[in-house]
Amino acid sequence: MQIQIKLLILFICLSFTSNSQENTFIYGSFESNSQFLQDDEGLNFYSPTDNFRSNNYLRLDFQNGNFSYGIQYESYLPSALLGYSEIFNNNDGIAQYYVKYENKNSEVTAGSFYEQFGNGLVFRAWEDRQLGINNSLRGVRYKFHPSKEVEISVIHGKQRFGFEYSKSIISGLNSNIDISEFLKLNNLGFTLGLSHLNRYQKLDAGFGEPENVNIRAARFGLFYKDFYVNAELAKKGKDVIANEGEILSQRMYDGTALQIDFGYSKKGLGINTSMRRIENFNIYSDKLAEGNIYNQKTLSFVPALTKQQDYLLTNIYVYNSQPRLVINNIEKRVGEVGFQNDIFYSFKKDGFLGKYRTKLAVNFSYWGAIGARFLDDESYDVDFVGKGKKYYQDFNIEIKNRWNKRLSSTITFLDLSIDKGVTLGGPLGVDGNINAQIGVFELNAKDGKNRNNRFVLQHLWTKQDRKEWLGFVYEIGVNNNLNFFISDIWNYGETEKLHYYNLGGSYSMGSARLNATYGRQRGGLVCVGGVCRFAPESNGFNLNFSYSF
């Protein structure tokens, strides 16, 4: 605590010293997310003793000339929000700090920093407060631009874990080269990239487990007129497999990842396809952290490549990527393989669907287990694709239409099939799949006082799991600053016929926003950008405030 106080005093002194100079810029943000939980017998939820919980973040950044520095203070008192890792509970202090110097060709950062190599398969250090993730490194980062065509990055440090840091040491090298700039290719874009990451960790398991694990990757990007192709191939060196603090086998396994994205776009039409194969490719700064449900200590970034849904019922059965190697008596799997495809099309004006351009979006994806045959000695033979069990499949169609200046509508239909182990928890490929269809109708209308009214009606059909659901949302924008909403999803297909009701509102002024809600939280996966955490069912009040300057 004394170190944190000294750091805070140092940064305050630096800020006052900087303020005396003309070229000093000060910026930052404050965010507070609080909840007051209450008992709900209908949900069989009984609030914990510390039923008031709050996550708070204060970030201050200073810049003067070539120098910049900053701190992030965090508070989780008396406890972190429900569903977040317990490592944050009853903690507060300066969680991150940094000093950075940069000039035309180079940049040096000491302290906490975020970084990403390529598309993140090998390494991504990032923050998402909604998911409770902050995987920043504390150490040194150096970026060098010997020319405008070349960028080289070097990192070395330890990964953050709550208010502490992992015992392992992470070192990495990343390079990006713009070949088209080198060769002065006007109509063709061509880039190359190479990445190397090393994790040094001494486990002392006693059977010659590796202290150094290396991950390497190569990638390219090709752009020509209306077409593009991006591809990245990565390989992880041999390592043990573990689960929640326990090494499961003395055998060591390597891993691979391949992702290819390509597409075509022109006015009114866009086609994008992503294909990915990941085998034993979940990477942690602490090997024993593998299997933790809070995404703590992750180094690799392998989000689910499926459509990000916008509605209450379309977010009930969401996919979470499955990169792990699992070998036990109940299930055996080596990773996932699949694809996602998006098609966007805008109809001409004054068409049969209205005066304005009607927009059509079609998405479909498939993800399943990689075909593999497991041997008695815990080794396996693997196919490139094979005929593994289906984990997830969906088909989405969305039609957006603007009828006039005051009225617009959206119609959405989703048909999906998901493994019960993915969405409900438990082993995969054992208990079968849930098949569901969801229909959504959304209407946005401005009334006589020019207030925007949003109506959403949605329904979910399934014969498995919790049967049918009916949902609605009504939201009114009183003005540009103030809005209110009420929503409910009703699980009328089940015996209990539970309602998950919510109501609230928000007020904005400039960069400040205050949001208050009351209601029930449906238990299940909460996903942001394809990365998920499990949220338990609960009931209570929520208050959120954010401000940036």
Structure confidence at residue 187 (pLDDT): 87
Q: Any idea of the CA torsion for 342, 346, 347, 349, to the nearest 10 degrees? A: 170
Q: What is the pLDDT of residues 440-474, one digit of tens each?
A: 999 999 998 999 999 999 999 999 999 999 999 99
Structure confidence at residue 8 (pLDDT): 55
pLDDT of residue 108 exceeding 70, the answer is yes
Rounded to an integer, the average pLDDT of 120-126 is 97
Q: Which residue has the higher pLDDT, 361 or 353?
A: 361
Structure confidence at residue 430 (pLDDT): 92
Sign of the CA dihedral 161, 163, 164, 165?
Answer: positive
Q: What percent of the chain shows pLDDT beyond 90?
A: 89
Write down the H helix ranges in 344-490. Answer: 420-424
How many Å from the N-terminal Cα to the C-terminal Cα in the chain? 28
Band of residue 256 on the pLDDT scale cut at 50, 70, 90: very high
Instruction: Tell me phi and psi for residue 352, to 5 degrees.
Output: -70, -15
Rounded to an integer, the average pLDDT of 23-28 is 90
The tokens describing 77, both together, are: 């008192």
| Single-letter code of the amino acid located at 338 | G
CA 417 and chain centroid, separation: 22
Structure confidence at residue 352 (pLDDT): 61
pLDDT of residue 19 exceeding 90, the answer is no
Lowest-confidence region among 18-27, 45-54, 61-70, 355-364: 18-27
Rg, C-alpha atoms of the chain:
25
pLDDT of residue 4 exceeding 80, the answer is no
Rounded to an integer, the average pLDDT of 66-77 is 97
Q: What is the pLDDT of residues 387-430, one digit of tens each?
A: 999 999 999 999 999 998 899 999 999 999 999 999 999 999 99
The tokens describing 469, both together, are: 């659901």
> How crowded is residue 51: how many other Cβ atoms within 10 Å of its Cβ?
17
Structure confidence at residue 192 (pLDDT): 98
Lowest-confidence region among 16-20, 30-34, 278-282, 357-361: 16-20
Structure confidence at residue 6 (pLDDT): 52
Instruction: Tell me phi and psi for residue 423, to 5 degrees.
Output: -90, -30
Beta strands 246-247 and 242-243, pairing class: antiparallel
Q: What is the pLDDT of residues 180-203, one digit of tens each?
A: 998 888 889 999 999 999 999 998
Cis peptide before 78 (omega within 30 of 0): yes
Q: What percent of the chain shows pLDDT beyond 70?
A: 95
Structure confidence at residue 544 (pLDDT): 98
pLDDT of residue 355 exceeding 80, the answer is no
The tokens describing 162, both together, are: 């709550």
Q: What is the pLDDT of residues 313-332, one digit of tens each?
A: 999 999 999 999 999 999 99
Band of residue 204 on the pLDDT scale cut at 50, 70, 90: confident
Residues 6+ apart with CB under 8 A from 495: none
pLDDT averaged over every residue in the chain: 94
pLDDT of residue 2 exceeding 70, the answer is no
Structure confidence at residue 354 (pLDDT): 62
Band of residue 224 on the pLDDT scale cut at 50, 70, 90: very high
Q: How many helices (H) and strands (E) does the chain have?
A: 3, 37
Structure confidence at residue 12 (pLDDT): 54
- Contact (CB, 8 A) for 221 and 190: yes
Question: DSSP string spanning 417-433?
Answer: EEEHHHHH-S-TTSS-E
Residue whose C-alpha is closest to residue 140's, from 111, 118, 167, 99: 111
pLDDT of residue 96 exceeding 70, the answer is yes
Band of residue 24 on the pLDDT scale cut at 50, 70, 90: confident
CA 528 and chain centroid, separation: 4
Residues 6+ apart with CB under 8 A from 104: 145
> How crowded is residue 349: how many other Cβ atoms within 10 Å of its Cβ?
10
CA distance 394 to 388: 17
